[in-house]
Amino acid sequence: MFNVSSTNQWKRDWGLTGRVFLTWILILLVYIFFIGVINLLFPGHFYLLIGLAFVMAFAQYFFSDKLVLMTTRAKIVEENEYPEFHRMIRKLCTEANLPMPRIAIMPSSVPNAFATGRSPSHAVVAATDSIMRLLTEEELEAVMAHELSHVKNRDILTMTIASFIAMVASIIIHNAFFMNILDGRNNNGAWIIMFIVAIAVWIVSTLLMLLLSRYREFAADRGSAVITRNPRALISALNKISGRMDSVPEKYKQEVAGANAFFIIPALTGKSLMEILSTHPSLERRVAALEKIESEMRGY
C-alpha cells in the first residue's frame, strides 16, 4: 500500500492490499450494474445524470483543499510563523520523497490533524493548535507522517472516484419526483423502480466507501511507521488524542464534525458511532495493526 526508499521499507501487507483490491472490484460491479439500469430505463437521461455527477466530482476533487480549509477555519502559515513545524514537515517529506506541501494551523480545542489537496504538488497538511500542545515532538511527527501518507497515496483522488456512483444515486433520490415531471412521458413505474434501485445503490456504495476509507487509514498508519520508523510513537499519539477527545465538550466537537472524514481520529465520543458506519477503524484495531508492524520491523 505504501512505498518509499529501500532503506525504510519492508514487506507489503498483502492482506490489506487484497482487501482494498476486493473492495474496488465490488465498487466497480456496483458502477456497472447501476449505469446499466439507468441506461436501460432512461437512455435519454443517462448523460445528464452522469454530467451532473461529474461536475460534483470535479468540484470535490479540484477545490477540496479550499473547501476543507474554509470549513475548518484552518489558516495557511508561513515558515517564519511556525519554523519548527515547517522543519518537521520538510524532514518527513524528504523521507517520503514528497514535495513540500502548504501547512495550515486550525484553531480548535479538538486535538487533530488532516491532509487535503488533489495531488502531492497541491497538498495541504494541517494540525490543530491543541494537538501541538498535547503531543511530544516524536508523537506529532508520527501524526504528520500519517497525514503525508494520505498525500502520498493520493487518497483524495481515490475517494472521489469511489464516491462517484453514490453521487449519481443521490441525485436521483433527491430529484426523482421532478425528473418524473420533466420527463413528460408516462414513466411512473420506471421512475419508482429507479428510485428504489438508487436507494439500494446509495446504501451499498456508501458502505463500500466507508470500508475503503477505513483501509485507507490502515495504509496511512503503515505509511507513518515506514517514514518515521517509529510505530510506537503513532500508537502513543493515537491513545493520547482518543483519550483527550472524550473530555472535549460536545459543542467543540460539533463545530468540526464536517471534517471528521479527514481527521486522523474523528471528533466523536468513542462509543457514539457503530464501527460499520465510521470512516475510521477502531482505535483497538489500529493499535493492533501498528504493533504487528513494529514486530515486522524488529524482525520477529
| Catalytic residue ranges | 147
Alpha helices, DSSP H only, in the chain? 14-41, 46-62, 64-72, 83-96, 129-134, 137-152, 155-183, 188-228, 231-245, 250-255, 283-298
Give the cell for residue 170: 443521490
Q: How many CA atoms lie within 13 A of 112 on its CB side?
A: 25
The C-alpha torsion from 121 through 126 and 132 to 138, rounded to 10°, is -40
Residues 279, 214 contacting (CB under 8 angstroms): yes
DSSP string, 200-245: HHHHHHHHHHHHHHHHHHHHHHHHHHHHHS-HHHHHHHHHHHHHHH
Residues 168, 53 contacting (CB under 8 angstroms): yes
Neighbours of 289 (CB within 10 A): 21
